[in-house]
Amino acid sequence: MSHDPVVIGVDSSTQSTKALFADAATGRTLAVGRAPHRVTGSGGARESDPDQWWQALREAVARGLKESGAPASSVRGIAIAGQQHGLVVLDRGGRPLRPALLWNDTRSAPQAAALAGRLGGPRGWTDRTGSVPVAAVTAAKWEWLREHEPATAERCAAVRLPHDFLTERLTGVATTDPGDASGTGWYSTATGTYDHEILQLLGLERQLLPDLAATGGTRVGGLTAAAAEALGLPPGVAVAAGTGDNMSAAVGLGLGGAGLLDHPALSLGTSGTVFAATRHRPADPALSGFAATDGAYLPLACTLNCTLAVDRIAALLGLGRDDAAPGGEAVLLPYLDGERTPDLPAASGLLTGLRHATTPHQLLGAAYEGAVVTVLRALDEVLRACGLDPAAPEVATRPLRLIGGGAGGRTWVETVRRLSGRPLIVPSSTELVAVGAAALAASAVSGADPVLIARSWKAGTVRELPPSERDLATWDRVVSVLDSATTTLLGSP
């Protein structure tokens, strides 16, 4: 009996692995297998054991295979989309030398600041890489390792990103894609290659890095016999180069050179991100000027504190996630892990504007407002990076695509709607990173453009919410506190 071909899109995020099994022709989701990750660390440290990601991948694939009812023989392709920036260092046998330093590990802030002052300063970096080093960037983490654990750096035989590590486990091939590579700090979006001067600055040898595939949908190999046995799949299944989680979400949304350009998306997850696919190479020091995985570009702004931080505030108040009311006079900036945008790695949470009448529900609402205003403030910069005027009526009313775990939360949706004043498009799929990875896997099988594949799947089938009147009073109040706190923390006059 024949079965329809299946592809697997893997979202290996900070907190968990999700393996989405999709019909290769229609994109219909057959199952999503899940397995958790463990993150450790305090005082700015955030680490995970890369071998744990591999075990979680095995568990997620096994569960998805069982739930889907599809025979293993029907699987044709697989692709990994992973959390960006993490530093994985391996020995000569491909074994991790230490836990991976994750994107939200802020210990590398001093190293990032030192790097940002080199190569002519921030503008020199954006002209080369599209981005200025911050604590999240892999280059800063490598510098931290060299300074704090020089013996480990000396023993290092390979440097990988999280998704590269898993792809290499699948194929035995050391490869990455332009999208995820553009978050390292040593890949040039201007030339599409590793920047040798930056590698020399970092004391990082080129042979320690994976090769660059043309796009994330490029077939880079097949499942090795060992990987196939571990996953319960046939050897030789096509493996795509894969990409970073934000780049994969863009594919899942149909954003890219073969799809929609210059349309913004807001992802509400552990981090909050706003991005758009564009033909314009971004070089704004205020943004991450990433490459998209399909040959376009992906200007992006990322905050550290989003759903996880607000959930923590809810837990402290003894409230459920949606037990919130507008904050009133209270302003709460939930910078519980420092902050990336604005670049305040040593910041902590800030609460002001309390009154006798302030309720716990308003405090929770204020946490939502602080998180949302922080990420929405970067939206205009992303639009400018696309060559657009944010004040132009056609641009100011352009719908905002809302994705990530928070997009399924009533309070998150209403807070974004109230503070942005924009119409919202909320895709029906809540697993767009995995959907994008599945499209990359299908591209590795067929050779078709992954963005066109995702658009044909209609993964972005949506519900549309009209704009509401913008709450400018709350916006101005939060922005005033945010600007004041930023000035104080940065020591500006």
Closest to 68 in 3D by CA, of 29, 106, 36, 107? 29
Q: Which of 245, 262, 311, 380 is catalytic?
A: 245
Closest to 472 in 3D by CA, of 480, 464, 461? 480
- The rounded distance, in Å, linking the Cα atoms of 182 and 185 is 7
Amino acid at 146: R
Amino acid at 155: R
Q: What is the 3 state secondary structure string of the chain?
A: CCCCCEEEEEEECCCEEEEEEEECCCCCEEEEEEEECCCECCCCCCEECHHHHHHHHHHHHHHHHHHHCCCHHHEEEEEEEECCCCEEEECCCCCECCCEECCCCHHHHHHHHHHHCCCCCHHHHHHHHCECCCCCCHHHHHHHHHHHCHHHHHHCCEEECHHHHHHHHHHCCCEECHHHHCCCCCEECCCCEECHHHHHHHCCCHHHCCEECCCCCCEEEECCHHHHHHHCCCCCCEEECCEEHHHHHHHHCCECCCCECCCCEEEECCCEEEECCECCCCCCCCCEEEECCCCCEEEEEEECCCHHHHHHHHHHHCCCCCCCCCCCCCEEECCECEECCCCECCCCCEEECCCCCCCHHHHHHHHHHHHHHHHHCCHHHHHHHCCCCCCCHHHHCCCEEEECHHHHCHHHHHHHHHHHCCCEEEECCCCHHHHHHHHHHHHHHHCCCHHHHHHHHCCCCEEEECCCCCCHHHHHHHHHHHHHHHHHHHCCC
Contact indicator for 331, 351 with CB cutoff of 8 Å: yes
- The rounded distance, in Å, linking the Cα atoms of 186 and 198 is 6
Contact indicator for 330, 352 with CB cutoff of 8 Å: yes
Q: Which residues contact 58 (CB under 8 A, 6 or more apart)?
A: 230, 231
Residue 300's beta-bridge partner residues? Answer: 275, 288
Is 245 annotated in the active site? yes
CB atoms within 10 A of CB 151: 8
Closest to 384 in 3D by CA, of 468, 264, 211, 216? 264
* Residues catalogued as catalytic: 245
